[in-house]
Amino acid sequence: MRHALLALALVGSLGAQSPAPTADPFAPVRFLEGEWKGEGGGRPGQSTGTATFRFELEGRALVRRSSADTAAANGRAASHHEDLMALFPEGGQLRALYLDNEDHVIRYLVSQLPGGVAFTSEAGTGPRFRLTYLRKAEALVTLRFEIAPPGSPEAFSTYLEAATHRVK
């Protein structure tokens, strides 16, 4: 009986120990937190824009709100773009949901790269998208948005590139 009580006490104390620390699921994207201003170009033309990355929901989601303005050029009208992207851990993977004022909805898987992070949309019947952020300095990040056509999910071509500078 005494051995059974001792064994029960040992098992009970093991359960009472604090759980092992878990890895930070947001570690690959923490360098993006803050406010950014940028300019760049590509198929839509020369653009300027801003983005904020802010933790919400008691640190359980990182939310990006961004906007970009493209000047009229070569017969194209000026345009204004707004989007919202929420990053969240799910099933051991960092994911993101993107929504914009042009009715796009993109679901991304997030992966760490040397010096940055890539958001790659899941393969499907339509085009595939990849958004890459590369940290060049503490307050300088470049971004590239690429599109792969339907039927060629790995044939990404650059749609736009920009340099962004941290303002806060």
- What number of residues does the chain have? 168
Q: What predicted TM-score, i.e. pTM, was given to this entire model? A: 0.81
Whether residue 13 has pLDDT greater than 60: no
pLDDT of residue 8: 43
- pLDDT digits 0-9 by tens, 98-120: 999 999 999 999 999 999 999 99
Long-range contacts of 23-29 (CB under 8 A, 24+ apart): 25/89, 25/94, 26/55, 26/59, 26/62, 26/87, 26/89, 26/94, 27/112, 28/94, 28/110, 28/111, 28/112, 28/117, 29/53, 29/62, 29/87, 29/94, 29/110, 29/117, 29/133
Whether residue 18 has pLDDT greater than 60: no
> Does CATH place domain 25-166 in 2.40.128.20?
yes
Q: What is the dihedral of CA 31, 37, 39, 43, to 10 degrees?
A: 70
pLDDT of residue 109: 97
Report whether 123 contacts 130 (CB < 8 A).
no
pLDDT of residue 20: 55
- pLDDT digits 0-9 by tens, 24-60: 999 999 999 999 999 877 776 788 899 999 999 999 9
pLDDT of residue 123: 85
9-22 average pLDDT score:
51
pLDDT of residue 37: 95
How far apart (Å, rounded) are the C-alpha atoms in residues 80 and 141? 22
- How many other CB atoms are there within 10 angstroms of residue 119's CB atom? 23
Whether residue 12 has pLDDT greater than 70: no
- pLDDT digits 0-9 by tens, 118-166: 999 988 889 999 999 999 998 999 999 999 999 999 999 999 999 999 9
Lowest mean pLDDT among 4-8, 93-97, 150-154, 155-159: 4-8
Whether residue 10 has pLDDT greater than 90: no
Locate 81 and state its tokens: 């773009």
